[in-house]
Amino acid sequence: MIGAPEDMTETPDGGLIMDALSDVLRAAHLSGGVFLHAEFTAPWCIAAQVSSGLCAPYLGPTAHVVPYHYVLEGELLAMVEGGGESQALRSGDVVLFPHNDTHILGSDIRLPPVFGGELILPPNAAGGLYSIRHGGGGARTKMICGFLGSNSAHDNPVITTLPRLIKLKTEETGSAEWIRSTFQYAADEVSHGRPGSETVLAKLSELLFVEAVRRHLADLPADQTGWLAGLRDPVVARVLALMHGDIARDWSVDELGRQAGSSRSALSERFSRLIGMAPMQYLAHWRLQVAAQKLKSTSASLAQIAEAIGYESEAAFSRAFKKKFGSAPATWRRS
């Protein structure tokens, strides 16, 4: 994991708190990749939305896709269709769309957009990436387009609270300079049809996403609410770190408050206002998210999973899981 934003050093137990963020991102099981290199010449404007089917050759089936575009050369404007301000992007910038909204990219986004899917050319016989060449012959913009795939993003407390568009200026990320330079090199290799860099770009995609989340966290306004905003509050952040650090412990609001230096009532108010649910409700919710991941990715028995997430019995775990997901754990695992 890349170094924490400078703001986070103001919060006690910064390492534990960043571990909570890492824990939530890890549970999303994000897998990165690249699928397309594009070259546009002004004037141009396209509408884009990345389907899981387009990414399947590089990732396999996935329920949720977070597309991103890395600008290799030139400049463009980007915005989410139907709302929000446009963002100017230049060489070295990255734009991500955490909810895979249809988005508009172009040298002039006032132009009627062409659907990007209609412009995509398949890889050549030797393999490689999809490609696009489009535009009016003027100033050139080159991009590498990639994605992060997840089968558990729909209920992830970080991904669900991210904005519809995140812009990452890699020259402003300090310690992430090595990501920018390595990504630029690998993207150049891929854009010129030289194989072997896709694996590097896949891993760098994941790091870029983490860095984008951290930059977003550092830039949150003071009155923001949501899970990430909770990391900016010293009491709520400490409680999140405690729960994520020992999910199976028999926590109470009183115990969490004592360890976070807060009264029970003050903790409950602050946690509910920022996170949107009471501390014990959040803990129960997160335990079941972890259980779902264990059911998917391990062969552990139901009894072992129940114990690992803090349930006293397999029966109690099964009842809670069925209430949350609509089917018993064993049935859900088979499906």
Rounded distance, CA 279 to CA 21, Å? 17
* pLDDT score at 200: 74
Residues 71 and 161 in one domain: yes
Average pLDDT over residues 253-277: 95
Domain assignment present for residue 131? The answer is yes
Q: Is 187 in contact with 201 (CB distance < 8 Å)? A: yes
Kindly report which listed range (79-88, 197-206, 224-233, 318-327) carries the lowest average pLDDT score.
197-206
* DSSP letters spanning 132-150: EEEESSSSEEEEEEEEEEE
Average pLDDT over residues 133-138: 96
Q: Could you tell me the residue range of the domain that residue 148 belongs to? A: 30-218
Q: What is the pTM of this model?
A: 0.81
**pLDDT tens digits for 53-87?**
777 666 666 778 899 998 989 999 999 998 778 99
Residues 267 and 190 in one domain: no
SS3 164: coil
Whether 137 has a pLDDT exceeding 80, the answer reads: yes
Rounded to 5°, the CA angle 326-328-329 comes to: 115
Compute the mean pLDDT over every residue in the chain, rounded to the nearest whole number: 85
Task: Tell me if the bond preceding 43 is cis, omega within 30° of 0.
Answer: yes
Average pLDDT over residues 29-55: 87
Closest to 87 (Cα-Cα) out of 221, 205, 212, 187? 212
CA distances from 190 to 100, 140, 226 (A): 24, 18, 38
How many C-beta neighbours within 10 Å does residue 312 have? 10
Residues 146 and 240 in one domain: no
Domain boundary among 186, 218, 250: 218
Query: Which are the contacts of 298, defined by CB distance < 8 A and separation ≥ 6?
Result: 305
**pLDDT tens digits for 157-167?**
888 889 999 99
Domain assignment present for residue 60? The answer is yes
